[in-house]
Amino acid sequence: MPLTLAVARERSDGESRTALVPETAKKFAALGARLRMEQSAGVQSHFLDPDYIGVDFMPSLEGSYAGADLILRVTPPSLAEIAAMPEGAVLIGLLKPYEAKERLAALNARKITAFSLELLPRISRAQSMDALSSQGACAGYQCGLIAAARCTKFFPMLTTAAGTIRPARVLVIGAGVAGLQAIATCKRLGAMVEAYDVRAAAKEQIESLGAKFVDTGVSADGAGGYARELTAEEKAAQAEKLAKAVAAADVVITTAAIPGKKAPVIVTRDMVGRMKYGAIIVDMAAESGGNCELTQPGEHVIANDVNIHGPLNLPSRMPTHASELYAKNIYNFLSPWIKDGALNIDWSDEVVAGTVLCRDGATVHATVKQILGDA
Amino acid sequence: MPLTLAVARERSDGESRTALVPETAKKFAALGARLRMEQSAGVQSHFLDPDYIGVDFMPSLEGSYAGADLILRVTPPSLAEIAAMPEGAVLIGLLKPYEAKERLAALNARKITAFSLELLPRISRAQSMDALSSQGACAGYQCGLIAAARCTKFFPMLTTAAGTIRPARVLVIGAGVAGLQAIATCKRLGAMVEAYDVRAAAKEQIESLGAKFVDTGVSADGAGGYARELTAEEKAAQAEKLAKAVAAADVVITTAAIPGKKAPVIVTRDMVGRMKYGAIIVDMAAESGGNCELTQPGEHVIANDVNIHGPLNLPSRMPTHASELYAKNIYNFLSPWIKDGALNIDWSDEVVAGTVLCRDGATVHATVKQILGDA
């Protein structure tokens, strides 16, 4: 019996992505896997059932999961969805490993082997599997678009017969994958972009996109490549430089999220109070509490005529391409272990070992165990 | 007594612009005008009362209009607002001259001299006063942003570790000021842009923005620079070429509006039926009925999984810059006639004569009279 790979429709609120797209379905089929999908599982991403070649479509979630060896998901499964999974199946997805101990317990009770892509070691070989990066790029791009659409000014400089419009001033805080994509999007639209990151190494990347690095004059680089603790004076100097950049901006985009932790508050209530009338904050860290003290996740808050947007699940706003990238990440992760329709995972592989969340009825990921305790 | 110039808060639904910004207030004051504004008239555009130097603020519309010689507006006044205008005052704005005969009658009853900027002769000397152009540029930019934000794909080509994303395919129909700005915005964002206009002269402008001209192989250029009537075969050939371009696009932006007339239907129900699953139409002509047969003004309609957006009053989405440009247009129109605090209009001036809608109790604009009859 060849390996059966199954994908159900994502049922989380507002989730439009899918873990299998027509292109990756074809590739999995070429590796000998049998493919099964719930009807309309790709529709929200604008992939119709007939677009998938060689996939069997089932009318229900239960029907698609029954007998499955390998289950692909975007979001963590609900307890009901876990109950529909065959005992011993392999599951892969963005499983929010640091949340919901009950989910972990349910997965272990059914002896599900679960890979959580948030745990993927960020080594160069794993880049093509890095779902946090691919989805972060989508999120950063969407943040740039939200900022432009909500700004009451043009982003680009505009020379018209009636006079010249100066470009809008954008500040991006946090220059990871998402931050860099937000910078690139705002630069493409013609805005004047400044960016800040605590990591000194980010300076070069920021400048390579044509943006200006906000130099706070304080470096946290310490011995052995680790960040050192700043003194109180240094912290104050850093905060003041940043507050000035925030006050000068028409748009502030914050992207400083830390997986599994509450987002650090970077833009305080005071700093919002010093911002321009009509300015905008797009807080990409809203999901984990927000980088702005006044952010309300999923809401649009107005304080001192500053508009603070806390959008959630940004990649799901562009599900066609977000799914394409995500599905490729999953394919790249799994394909080395599938041959002639059989799944043979090398548990000694560094990427596999780093990403596995639970196996054989137990949570095996060290950091997750440390945070959640045994489940 | 110097000239008194008055601006009230715009009261139309969803209108955020203002006809006087701090910069033009300063310039009018330098010409000797006394300035009066209703309180908070600039707030929606993010100009606060204290930002205006040398302007008297009044708590009510009546208070700001009382004794005014010159009234600046964005939108047409309501009958109540007209009632608050001093007899014989001069009014300027985007007055929708082809609509609302009652408004015209009310203006004439109060002997208001009204300039409607939609009527401005489109000659090169008047470009700096061209409010349809400046607001059209805002509208086109906003259409580009709406299209990008609603598209479920990236506009730019993206090279990621997981593979390459092809750029989105955008088709812009109508290459006037708004269309060209929509093209520029989508190009900036990295989309592959095609554009079409019935005027052969648009080809060069489209190509100068890096977009591809959709050549239908049919030219409507006739003798003496006028468009000639196409034969039935030519019309069919043209429609088929355009339908093919529409079917291939991820995003279609339509901008073919004709002032004072219903917008032509260019994208038919049939053409929508042939579009890609998940494609988007942004219909800038929604206000005047729409260029797409299925557009509902102000609504988001989904047909055959094609998302059809019919946004209204697009410039008002970016009121800070839209007001700045509009206020400059008005200043450029009026300033030649203001000296030492006195208003002396040269009625023989081509731009003045072309723009005046009514004067001394009568509608004087020939085309408006022809369409609406005497009022």
- pLDDT tens-digit map of B232-265: 888 888 889 999 999 999 999 999 987 778 899 9
Same domain, B160 and B296: yes
Contact A189 B190 (CB under 8 A): no
- B210-231: buried (b, 16+ CB within 10 Å) or exposed (e) per residue? ebebbebebebeeeeeeeeebe
Q: Which of A17, A45, A69, A130 is catalytic?
A: A130
Residue A28's domain comprises: 4-129+318-372
**Could A152 and B328 be called an inter-chain contact, meaning their C-beta atoms sit closer than 8 Å?**
no
Q: Which residues of chain A have pLDDT under 50?
A: none
Same domain, B71 and B214: no
Q: Which two tokens stand for residue B360?
A: 């001394």
* Inside any domain, residue A324: yes
Q: Which residue has the tokens 């639209």?
A: A189
Q: In this structure, are B143 and B278 located in the same domain?
A: yes
Residue B373 in this model has a pLDDT that exceeds 80: no
B162: chain A residues, CB-CB within 8 Å = 128-130, 134, 325, 328-329, 332
Residues 76-115 of B with CB under 8 A from A: none
pLDDT digits (tens, 9 = 90+) for B52-108: 999 999 999 999 999 999 999 999 999 999 999 999 999 999 999 988 889 999 999
Q: Is A325 on the interface with B (CB under 8 A)?
A: yes
Predicted local confidence at residue B18, as pLDDT: 98
- Asked if B149's CB is within 8 angstroms of A319's CB, the reply is no
ipTM rounded to 2 decimals: 0.93
Of B136-140, B193-197, B239-243, B307-311, the one with minimum mean pLDDT is: B239-243
Using alpha carbons, list the distances in angstroms from residue A78 to A12, A73, A117, A375: 9, 11, 17, 16
Query: What is the rounded CA–CA span in Å between residue A235 and residue A213?
Result: 18
- Name the residue among A134, A149, A329 with its Cβ closest to that of B149: A149
CA distances from A180 to A251, A323, A326, B159, B350 (A): 15, 20, 19, 14, 52
B 252-311 → A contacts, CB under 8 A: 276-278, 305
Assess if residue B67 is contained within a domain: yes
Half-sphere exposure of B144 (CA within 13 A, CB side): 30
Verify that A146 and A275 share a domain, yes or no: yes
Residues 37 through 56 of chain A touching chain B, CB cutoff 8 Å: 45-46, 48
Structurally, chain A folds into a number of domains equal to: 2
Nearest to B319 among A16, A152, A319 (CB): A152
Q: Answer with the one of A267, A283, A312 that is the final residue of a domain.
A: A312
> B305: distance to nearest CA of chain A, Å?
8
Note whether residue B375 is domain-resident: no
Whole-angstrom Cα distance, residue A55 to residue A39?
10
Q: Is pLDDT at B202 greater than 70 in this prediction?
A: yes
Which pLDDT score, from 0 to 100, does residue A374 have? 63
Indicate the DSSP class of residue B220: -
CA distance linking residue A34 with residue A3, whole number of Å: 6
Res A217: pLDDT: 81
Examine residue A327 and state whether it is found in any structural domain, yes or no. Answer: yes
According to DSSP, residue B82 is labeled: H
**Closest partner residue to B318 among A154, A190, A328, by Cβ?**
A154
Question: Residue B105 has what DSSP assignment?
Answer: H
Of A292, A312, A332, which residue constitutes the final position of a domain? A312
Kindly state whether residue A50 falls inside one of the protein's structural domains.
yes
The active-site residue out of A44, A133, A134, A142 is A133
Phi, psi of A155 (to 5 degrees): -75, -50
CB-CB under 8 Å, A320 with B278:
yes
CB–CB of B151 and A188 under 8 A?
Answer: no
Provide the pLDDT for residue B341: 94
Are residues A367 and A254 part of one domain? Answer: no
Residue B209 lies in a domain: yes
Residues A159 and A293 in one domain: yes
In terms of domains, do A143 and A37 share one?
Answer: no
Residue A370: partners with Cβ closer than 8 Å, 6 or more residues away = none
Residue B112: is its pLDDT beyond 90? yes
Say yes or no: A304 and A177 in one domain.
yes
| Of A103, A107, A63, A101, nearest in space to A89 by CA | A107
| CATH number for the domain harbouring residue A181 | 3.40.50.720
The catalytic site residues of B sit at 122, 127, 130, 133, 226
% of residues, chain B, pLDDT over 70: 97
Statement to judge: residues A60 and A167 lie in one domain? no
Q: Tell me if A358 sits within 8 A of A112, measured CB to CB.
A: yes
* Cβ neighbours of B49 in A, within 8 Å: none
Choosing from A312, A335, A361, the residue where a domain stops is: A312
- On whether both A354 and A339 belong to a single domain, the answer is yes
Which pLDDT score is estimated for B236? 86
Selected for mutation to probe chain B from A15, A24, A120, A165 (highest B CB count within 10 Å) is: A165
Residue A134 lies in a domain: no
According to the model, what pLDDT value does residue A233 have? 86
Name the residue in chain A with its Cα closest to that of B166.
A321
Q: Which among B257, B310, B253, B299 is positioned nearest to B279, based on CA atoms?
A: B253
A197 and A89 assigned to the same domain: no
Per the residue annotation, which of A11, A122, A125, A228 is the catalytic one?
Answer: A122
Domain assignment of residue B372, yes or no: no
**pLDDT at res. A375:** 54
Question: What's residue B85's pLDDT?
Answer: 98
pLDDT in tens, B307-362: 999 999 999 999 999 999 999 999 999 999 999 999 999 999 999 999 999 999 99
As a whole number of angstroms, the distance between CA B74 and CA A258 comes to 47
CB contacts of A129 in chain B (<8 Å) are 162
Backbone dihedral angles phi then psi of residue B254, each to the nearest 5 degrees:
-110, 135
Is residue A208 within 8 Å of residue A236, measured between CB atoms?
Answer: no
Best A186, A321, A324 residue to mutate vs chain B (most B CBs within 10 Å): A321
Q: How far is A278 from chain B (nearest CA, A)?
A: 5
Per-residue model confidence as pLDDT tens digits over A35-47? 999 999 999 999 9
Query: Inter-chain contact B128–A162, Cβ cutoff 8 Å?
Result: yes
Residue contact B320–A146, C-beta within 8 A: no
Same structural domain, A275 and A339: no
Give me the residues of B, 146-205, that contact A with CB < 8 A.
Answer: 146, 148-149, 151-154, 156, 158, 160-163, 165, 185, 188-190
Residues B192-214: what's their mean pLDDT? Answer: 94
Distance from CA of B370 to the nearest CA of A (A): 31
